[in-house]
Amino acid sequence: MAMSGEAGALAPVMVFALVGALGVGAQWLAWRLRMPAIVLMLAAGLIVGPGLGLFDPARDIGPLMAPMVSIAVAVILFEGGLSLNLQSLRGAAEGVRRLVILGAPLGWLGSTLALHYAAGLDWATAAVFGGIMIVTGPTVIAPLLRQARLARRPAQLLQWEAIVNDPVGALAAVLAFEVVLVMAASETAGGAALSMARGIAVALALGLGAGWRLVRAFRAGHVPEFMKVPVLFAVLLGVFALSDTVLHESGLLTVTVMGLYMANADLPSYAELRRFKEHATVLLVSGVFILLAASMNPEALALLDWRAAAFVAVTILLVRPVTVLVSLLGTNVPWNERLLVALTGPRGVVLVAVAGLFGERLVALGFEDAARLTPLAFALVAATVVLHGFSLAPLGRALGLAQKGPPGVILVGGSAFSTALGEALQKLEVPVLVSDPNRMRLRSARAAGLRTFFGDILSEAAEDGIEVVSFGQVVALSDNDAYNTLVTTDLAPEFGRENVFQLRRTREEGARHALPATLGGRRIGGDLDHAGIAQRMAQGWGVRTTRLTADYPLEAWRADNPEAVPLAEMRPSGTLAFIARGEAPAGGEGSGLIAFGPPREPGGTPPRPSGD
């Protein structure tokens, strides 16, 4: 293993490779195991750091640690602001406003009291850390919401509270830290207020100015497409550093304002910029968390005593519920939604990262108890993520705010075939939504009792009117091959490329018509395109559901239905799997097979066990 000059120290290149492998590997493993990723990242960092002693950031990268964490947190907060499109707040606007305007100061006060009386911290340290604790972790809440499949409004409340309070919490910590700094330096209160006001004004001006200038440049074509992301990064780092020179750590506010402005500027390339930032955030979140977890030494872990446990319990069971319930008094948010939000407050990497930054600075100012900030932050993050990771879905179901049963399927394109497929899926108790911008094409779906959406599935109306979290797969079945490709390409990042399907395009053979693998979804329906399916539907073909048993296995079904095209199967585990071209059904006793096949001949023997 490569070592640096100091005995036992890893070379910087090996450090970056190790952090990347552990962080991304932990997130991938968490996805496979359906666990909160932050738990595995915490475990990985503790194992290679204080556990085995293989990696010590202070020893191996030394002075690079603090600026790396600062820049990573800045990019994470910028991505949070870039995700905050104000038009998406319509349904949850009032609740989010109350959770920010009232909830943030209430949470700051409650957290400060808990830190002082339960954890035993000095008032100054408690005020700084209490500000950071306003943050509820947007990088943590998103995967928890996908896993729990909550109803739209409580999911929006939790998501947007986390996004909006991210910079608010950082700013609260900045303000508290500046007050502590002024007190330590024995400056006048008037001078301190003037300094903070100047810093905040400069941060807002820099963030809005940089965002406005970038939007103008991107719209006017002054920056080519391949240069937009590098230019964005360069400007982001520049305004962050410049704002920090005016008011220490105010760069976090600057980059958040910049992201917020760009998110609401209707940029044509906004989606591409946001997706790239999301990818960068995955790497930065995992890297920062591994670095901070590996920095925990046995002495720091020893600071987690009974008072730390009392602080975590008071925060989860008292501070969070009181803050939310008081903030939402008098709103139109139903009580079951208020309870769900009140009992859900996972903290994430921003809390740990900012706590690590300010902890070091407070210790340098002579506040020795600030050394406990990072261990307390890790304890709170671990407790809340584990608790909410395993309790959010059951709590949502108990309160009637989570979908029961398998995730639904969105069928894009109204037709006789999509109606038949939707009816077959509903027989297996799979929720179905049929979407089409032509109302006439939805008549058969409405007559069959299927839920429909009149409009473009990619429109803002669909984003506002459809609880996308209730659906897990998309099948594009329209007669427009280009539209099917557009829908599956656009929705693939949200649903996962393995969960978007489309019919075979009429022209896709040969180099002249072949599309790159990055475009479109997986093919469904074998070698049949829309015209071929419509022709067979006119000949009496239909979609049928067959239940496979020990007496009637997959081989027997194939013998009885040699021309049938398998479309999907409901496996005994309750998982719906569409069958892409080139794949075969798994079969097995108890599976429900959905297939497109010819009419049964008069006097012919139908498949013995059938869902028809």
Highest mean pLDDT among 74-88, 140-154, 547-561, 596-610: 547-561
- Structural contact between residues 496 and 472, judged by C-beta atoms closer than 8 angstroms: no
C-alpha distances out from residue 276 to 82, 168, 233, 282, Å: 11, 24, 11, 10
* pLDDT of amino acid 604: 47
Separation of alpha carbons 440 and 209, rounded Å: 48
Between 397 and 153, the higher pLDDT residue: 397
123-127 long-range Cβ contacts below 8 angstroms, 24+ apart: 124/176, 124/180, 124/183, 124/362, 124/367, 125/362, 125/367, 125/369, 125/370, 125/373, 127/176, 127/179, 127/180
Q: What is the structure's pLDDT at 476? A: 92
The answer, yes or no, to whether residue 507 has pLDDT greater than 80, is no
Evaluate if residue 308 carries a pLDDT over 50. yes
3-class secondary-structure state, position 493: helix
pLDDT for residue 464 is more than 70:
no
DSSP-derived 3-state class of residue 292: helix
Q: Two tokens at 201?
A: 């004004």
- The pLDDT tens digits of the residues spanning 147-193 come to 777 777 787 788 778 777 766 676 677 667 766 766 666 556 666 66
User: What are 150's strand-pairing partners?
Assistant: 402
Distance CA 228, CA 220 (A): 12
pLDDT digits (tens, 9 = 90+) for 570-586: 888 878 889 888 888 88
Q: Is residue 461 predicted with pLDDT exceeding 90?
A: no
- Give me the domains of the chain, ranges plus CATH numbers: 67-270+297-398 (1.20.1530.20), 408-597 (3.40.50.720)
Mean pLDDT across 35-48: 80
Question: Which of 91-95, 378-382, 411-415 shows the lowest mean pLDDT across its residues?
Answer: 91-95
The more confidently predicted of residues 276 and 382 is 382
pLDDT digits over 12-35, tens only?
788 888 888 888 888 888 777 767
Burial class (CB in 10 A: 0-12, 13-18, 19+), 541: buried
For CA atoms 114, 116, 119, 122, the dihedral sign is positive
CA 551 and chain centroid, separation: 44
The beta-carbon contacts of 386-390 under 8 Å, at least 24 apart in sequence, are 386/36, 386/39, 387/316, 388/144, 388/344, 388/345, 388/346, 389/35, 389/36, 389/39, 389/144, 389/147, 389/346
Looking at residue 61, its pLDDT comes to 81
Lowest mean pLDDT: which of 122-136, 236-250, 270-284, 498-512?
270-284
CA–CA dist 242, 248 (Å, integer) = 10
Residue type, 517: A
Highest mean pLDDT among 99-103, 293-297, 351-355, 449-453: 449-453
CA 584/CA 604 separation, integer angstroms: 25
Task: Specify the pLDDT at position 475.
Answer: 93
Question: Are the beta carbons of 593 and 548 closer than 8 angstroms?
Answer: yes
Identify the sign of the CA torsion 323, 324, 328, 334. negative
Classify residue 338 as exposed, middle or buried by CB count within 10 Å of its CB (0-12, 13-18, 19+).
buried
What span, in angstroms and rounded, lies between the C-alpha atoms of 342 and 325? 7
For residue 220, how many other CB atoms are within 10 A of its CB? 8
- Does 471 or 247 have the greater pLDDT score? 471
For the stretch 511-538, pLDDT in tens is 555 666 667 788 888 888 888 999 999 9
Q: How far is CA 306 from CA 311, 363, 425, in A?
A: 9, 22, 53
Q: Which among 591, 596, 599 is positioned nearest to 544, based on CA atoms? A: 596
C-alpha 167/C-alpha 180 separation (Å) is 20
